[in-house]
Each structure stands twice: as C-alpha cells, then as structure tokens.
Structure 1
Amino acid sequence: MSSSLPRHADMAPHHRRLISNWLFVLCFMLLGMIAIGGVTRLTGSGLSIMDWQPVSGIIPPLSHAEWERLFALYKTIPQYHLQHEGFGLEGFQKIFWAEWIHRFWGRLMGLVLFVPLVWFTIRGMITRKLALRLFLFFILGALQGAIGWFMVASGFRPDSTAVEPVRLVLHLSAALALYLAVLWTAFSIRWPQPQTVPATPAAHRTKRLVWAALCLICITIIAGGFTAGTHAGFVFNTFPLMDGHLIPQDYARLTPFWLNWVDNKAAIQFDHRLLATLTALTIGCVLLVGLRTRGLGAKAHNALMLLGWAVLIQYALGVTTLLLVVPVWAGAVHQTFAAVLLGVMLYVLHNLRGVSTR
C-alpha cells in the first residue's frame, strides 16, 4: 500500500462510516469485557482457571474427566478452602464458566480487530499510518491478556484468596487505555475535521476544565480499582457519613502515610468518594461554563448535556452500589458505566478539538 494514500479527511465517506462503525463495535465489546470482568471479580471466579493457554484455552472442558482435573487443580489454592470448600463440581462449573467467558470474549475481540484490519489493509481502504496504529492496538490487546494472567497468578499464592489490588488496577487501567485509544481513533475517522471555534477566553476555559475533569475521572477510576481490589466497598455502607463521620477516624492508621491509599479500607473508600464528588463538581463547572459559551456549536453543547446526565447516573450508581453492599449486578454496572462516562468525556473533548488550550 502506498504511503501517499489519503488521510482520514480524504477517505471516501462510506469507507469512513464502515471503518468507524467497526471500531465502535470494538469499543462496545471492550465495555462488555469490562462488565464481564466485574462479574468475575465479584463472584470470585477469576481464579477458577489455573492454566494460561492463549490458543487451546478457547476450547472448554469436553469430558467429565477434564472437569475433575480442573476442579482438582482449583482445590489446591487457598481460595477454595477459605471461600468455596464443599461446593462441589457443580459450584465449580458456575465460577469456571464466568472466567472462561471473560477469556473467550478477549480472544473474540482479537479476531474482530485483526481479521477486518487485514481485509481493509489489503483493499487499500486505510492508510499505512492507520493500519500500523490499529495493528499496535492488536498487540496491546494481546499484552492485556498477559497482564490479566499476571494479575490472576497473584491469587495462587499460599497466603492469598484474591488477586493483588495493584495488579487488578494495572489490568483495569490497561483495558481503559486501549478503550480510549480505539474510541478516539473511531471519532477521528468518523468526524475528521475539527470544528472551528472562536478563540474566546470562555472557550479556552471550557477546554481546560474538560481536561481537568478527564484527569479526575481517570484518577477516580484508579481509586475505584483499589476499592474493588481490597473489598473496601463492603465496609462503611452508609452515605454521606462513614460510621457517623465525614472522614473515617482510622483514615491515617498506617505508616508511612501513603500506604493508607492502597491498603487501608477506610481511607481507600473515602478517597474514592471524595474523588467522585470532586469529579462531579468539576463536570458541573464544565457545564456551567461550556453551555454559556457561544461558538462551540450545537454538537458540542449536546455532548456537554450528555456528559451531565452521564455523571449523574454514575454518581447515583456508586451510591446505590455502596448502600446495597455491592451486589454483583450493581458492582458490575457501576464499573462498566465508569468507562461509559469516560467515553462521553472523550467525545466532549473531541468536539472541542478546534479550541486552543493556550
């Protein structure tokens, strides 16, 4: 393929629609992957498959003997003896299928990315630069599988019944980074020309606030990963107070102080609450400034309104999940909608590309 092939703006409109729709499908699949990952975490299913077989693992157990072999392997780790002892083969099969679906979904996404990529490249429908970028996404997806196994392996230690929170956060962060990269690429192919926006102080202020809110959302999600990994959501199930206090009394019980942010359940949950509230307030400022700014255009204003609804829904989901003591459905939806909110924020930022941040 010649390197002189046109860029996104010069691609045929039907090619842009086709390729962007394909990438949007991948983004929806990534959201599904995040949701399934939440279910596997909340049901304790993630440690049920103790082999990492990137290719042959796509085939589930096909005989009773194979089921018994896998169950016998599972019985050797602490999670079985401390959480699931005596639940039998049928109980093991339930958690096995949740983890198998999670891994199968990842392999399916790889195929959905790689096969059309080869076809579009051969047909000359995408530029060399875009083909290389998308192939890099494929490599990052494969790396994400390796990070997932790195996370799971931490739960096989003699003193562990769950994966290490730091590795869980790494796995989640890598998934979200890939999701954002694919989504931004899809937006750029679908709408390649940035809208010209008057260089007013209000427009600059809006874009700076959007960047601040985007950073806060990312930090809040990382804090949420530690909340999930340490099971901090199962304590202090009241809102807005925590055991009758705005700030929990044992917030700073660990030394050095920074350990409280990753190993103290009271501090971890408080930090997540605080960051979520700061994020919501910052987005409120984005709306107050952005919706009053002339020249952003109807599309940008609609994106801002969508962002407002998204943050309200996510905040309500967080409070609901906490008050109900983290049922599986609520925890999974809350985790998944965090990625949706992040995607909406990225959509807002993409609509403000024509605004200088200087």
Structure 2
Amino acid sequence: MAQKRSIFEEVTTDEKPAAAPRGGLIEKGRGGARRGIRLWLLVIFALVMAMIAVGGLTRLTDSGLSITEWKPVTGAIPPMDEAAWQSEFEKYQQIPEYQIQNAGMTLSEFKSIYWWEWGHRQLGRVIGLVWAVGYAGFALARRVPAGWHRRLILIGALGGLQGAIGWWMVSSGLEGERLDVASYRLATHLGLAFVILGFIAWYVFLLGRSEPELMQARRARDGKLFGMSTGMLHLAFLQILLGALVAGIDAGRGYTDWPLMGGQVLPPDPFDLAPVWRNFFENPALVQFIHRCVGYLLFAYGIVVMLKGRKSAYRVTAGAFTLMGAVLFLQVVLGIMTVLHGAPLALGLAHQVGAVALFVAILHARFLSQYPKSQSVREAR
C-alpha cells in the first residue's frame, strides 16, 4: 500500500519535461530549403545581370541581327565548318542591315558579330536550364517552402516569355528598310529583363530572413517611406525604358554637348517626323531630350527620398537609402560622361550596368522600409 504524503511535502520526479517545439507553428509549416533556394536565385540573378550586360554589348556592337533565325534548341550549336559559316553569312546578306549598312563585309568580320549574338542567346539558354534544373530538384525533394511554388514558377514563365519577346524584337529588323531592331521592341525586351531581375532580388531579400522575423518586422514598416521608394522605383523603370529607346536609335551619339543640346535648351527639329507620335520613339533629338529631362527629375526626387530615408529610426534602413543616393549620383555622372563622349562602348556598358545597380539599390531600400531590421537600444538612432 502506498504511503500517504503530506500536502506540504515536496514532490520530486526524475522525469524531464518535454522540450518545447522549436520555431513555432508558423516556422514549422513554412519549412523548406530557404538558404539553398536563396543561393540558387542568387546564381540566376548574376546570370541575368550578365545577360543584360551582354545584351548591351550586342546592341553597341551592332551584332543583334547577325543570326536571322530562331531555333531555341538546335540554335545552341554554332556553325562547325566553313560551309556552315558561309550559309549563315548568306542569310545575313539578305537583310537590310547588310545590304544598306554593311555591304562588302567579309566573312571574318561577320564571324565577330555572330559570336556576340550567339553568346547572348546561349546565355539565355543557360539561364533557362539553371532555372529548370534547380526548380525541379527542389520540387522533387519537397524542399520548396509553403507559398513559394508560384513565385518560382513565375520567374521561369517570365524567362520563357523573354525569349519569345527577344525573337519578336530581332524579327523587326529583318525586313523592310530598318537597319536595326524596332526601338520600342528593344525597350520591351530590356524592360522585361529588369522586371525579372526585380522579382529575383525581392525574393532573395525575403528568403534572407525567416517568416516570423518578416512578420514581426512588418509591424514596424514605414508606409510613407515605402510609398516614396515605390514611386522612385517606377520612375527609375521609366528612365530605363527611355534609355532603351535612346540605344535603339543611337540617339546618344547625336548630341554630345551638355547641359544644352545642339547649343539650345530644346534641341533642333524635335517634331520633324510625321505623324507627330513617331517623334517620341524615333526622333533622336526628342528621345534624348526626354531621357535627359526624366533623368533630372529622377535625380531631384531621389535626393528627396534619400533625405527622408536617412531619417529612419533604423540604422540599416537609413544606410540603404544613403547607398541608393550614392549610386544615383554615380549613375547621373556616368550618363553625362556617356553623352559627352558620344556613347563609346565602355561608357555605354558602364551606364547600363549602373542602371542595374541603381534599380537593385532602390529595391533594397524599399524592402527595408517595408521590413526594417530589428536593432538594440544602443543601435537605435
């Protein structure tokens, strides 16, 4: 018979209490290889950045029309002998760019522009392959976090659409009297590249922190600063599209004085094309003038946003807006130098890469205004 215990007697037990579950229900339900997927997206991000740079070089070297067919699979194999090279050269000789601009080009000269365009398309195939293999691997291993399948599929779908738009762009320069691709199609192609880059960057930022941390951070969001940075992001995107229009018609090489254009505030003959709407896409003087004006507006608004962001109570957020302002200033200087020197290859490429850096810097500052990083009392501003 068990002994009776006093109600005042201390009761001890050798059993240890069960450990509390780690991470909570939210974290448990949203598992997956967040770190691995983030690393994979960073690789794709770097490849897309390289794609934008190579695309810029392809445009600046007038190589984009050297391949006159779209063969997504078999096109990955370049000409392997002289007969194949001659066949490709003969196809190029049938388009207006050769007949009007490059008549008399040798096979050796053709090869140099062919390799630029082939490399550009090959890099696109590599990006598609890296996405497909990576997504399939994470999906089959059931390591995709909850709610992330649609996001990752979106990137792949946009990549496929980008390939189709790339051919739509190239096809515009293969017939008629056009010597280059249509500038508005070039702007669409570049714009979608930045959209893809933006989604990848945002997802990388999200995956860099846990779901509970993001939920906690969102309670401290700065709605006004988020709205201002969103407006700046849209304005920067517009400026990128205008830059593509400038590149599409070589408008950056027409007026090499600054701050005036042709010695005037408003350039000569800004509306000499008919109908009038064509001037906004095809008149080099007006297109470059608009690009300059939007650049001034972006710079002025960017200073306002930076000063607002620097007042943030969160040190990391304030630092991100300071960095954004510095990149914006550098990009403006690069733009002016590119104009003054007639858009040479090196400066033109640097200006395009600078656009990528600015776009990502704005995105990062915008992200931190939405999800500020927690800090200790000592770190508080």
In 1: Cα distance, 2:230 partner to 2:123 partner: 32
Asked if 1:179 is matched to 2:172, the reply is no
Between 331-340 and 164-173, report the one with greater CA deviation.
Answer: 331-340
- In the alignment, is the contact (CA less than 8 A) between 1:114 and 1:135 conserved in 2? no
CA apart distance, 1:38? 0.6
Code of the aligned partner of 1:329:
A
In 1: Cα distance, 2:88 partner to 2:26 partner: 52
CA apart distance, 1:237? 0.6
- In the alignment, is the contact (CA less than 8 A) between 1:205 and 1:289 conserved in 2? no
TM-score of the superposed pair, with normalisation by structure 1? 0.90
Tell me which residue corresponds to 2:345: 328
Runs (4+) of structure 1 moved beyond 6 Å?
5-9
Between 142-151 and 335-344, report the one with greater CA deviation.
Answer: 335-344
Tell me which residue corresponds to 1:273: 292
Superposition RMSD in Å = 2.1
Code of the aligned partner of 2:167:
W
Cα 1:62–1:7 change in 2 (3 A) is farther
Asked if 1:137 is matched to 2:158, the reply is no
Code of the aligned partner of 1:11:
G
- In the alignment, is the contact (CA less than 8 A) between 2:317 and 2:369 conserved in 1? yes
Cα 1:352–1:107 change in 2 (3 A) is same
In 2: Cα distance, 1:6 partner to 1:221 partner: 39
In 1: Cα distance, 2:112 partner to 2:124 partner: 19
Matches within 5 A, 1:157-306: 157-192=175-210, 193-194=213-214, 195=217, 203-254=222-273, 257-293=276-312, 295=313, 297-306=314-323
CA apart distance, 1:91? 0.3
Asked if 1:86 is matched to 2:132, the reply is no
- In the alignment, is the contact (CA less than 8 A) between 1:303 and 1:344 conserved in 2? yes
- In the alignment, is the contact (CA less than 8 A) between 1:209 and 1:282 conserved in 2? no
Structure in which a larger fraction of residues adopt helix? 1
- In the alignment, is the contact (CA less than 8 A) between 2:67 and 2:92 conserved in 1? yes
Asked if 1:31 is matched to 2:49, the reply is yes
Cα 1:27–1:238 change in 2 (3 A) is same
Asked if 1:340 is matched to 2:349, the reply is no
In 2: Cα distance, 1:300 partner to 1:9 partner: 29
Residues 320-355 of structure 1 show CA distances to partners (whole Å, capped at 9, x for unaligned) of 111111112221221222122111111111111148
Query: Of the two, which has the highest radius of gyration?
Result: 2
Tell me which residue corresponds to 2:65: 47
Cα 1:84–1:252 change in 2 (3 A) is closer
Cα 1:247–1:9 change in 2 (3 A) is farther
Cα 1:300–1:11 change in 2 (3 A) is farther
Tell me which residue corresponds to 2:31: 11
Query: What SS does the corresponding residue of 1:156 show, helix, strand or coil?
Result: coil
Between 302-311 and 183-192, report the one with greater CA deviation.
Answer: 183-192
In 2: Cα distance, 1:321 partner to 1:66 partner: 39
- In the alignment, is the contact (CA less than 8 A) between 2:171 and 2:181 conserved in 1? yes
In 1: Cα distance, 2:118 partner to 2:232 partner: 36
Asked if 1:70 is matched to 2:88, the reply is yes
In 2: Cα distance, 1:98 partner to 1:6 partner: 49
Residues 66-118 of structure 1 show CA distances to partners (whole Å, capped at 9, x for unaligned) of 00100011111111122222221110000000000000000000111111111
Code of the aligned partner of 2:251:
A
Structure 1: stretches of 5+ with no match in the other structure:
none
In 2: Cα distance, 1:100 partner to 1:148 partner: 13
Structure 2: stretches of 5+ with no match in the other structure:
1-24, 373-381
Pairs aligned (count): 344
- In the alignment, is the contact (CA less than 8 A) between 1:242 and 1:248 conserved in 2? yes
Code of the aligned partner of 1:271:
I
In 1: Cα distance, 2:154 partner to 2:311 partner: 40
CA apart distance, 1:33? 0.5
Which of the pair has the greater relative contact order for Cα pairs under 8 Å at 6+ separation?
1
- In the alignment, is the contact (CA less than 8 A) between 1:206 and 1:290 conserved in 2? yes
CA apart distance, 1:236? 1.0
CA apart distance, 1:238? 0.9
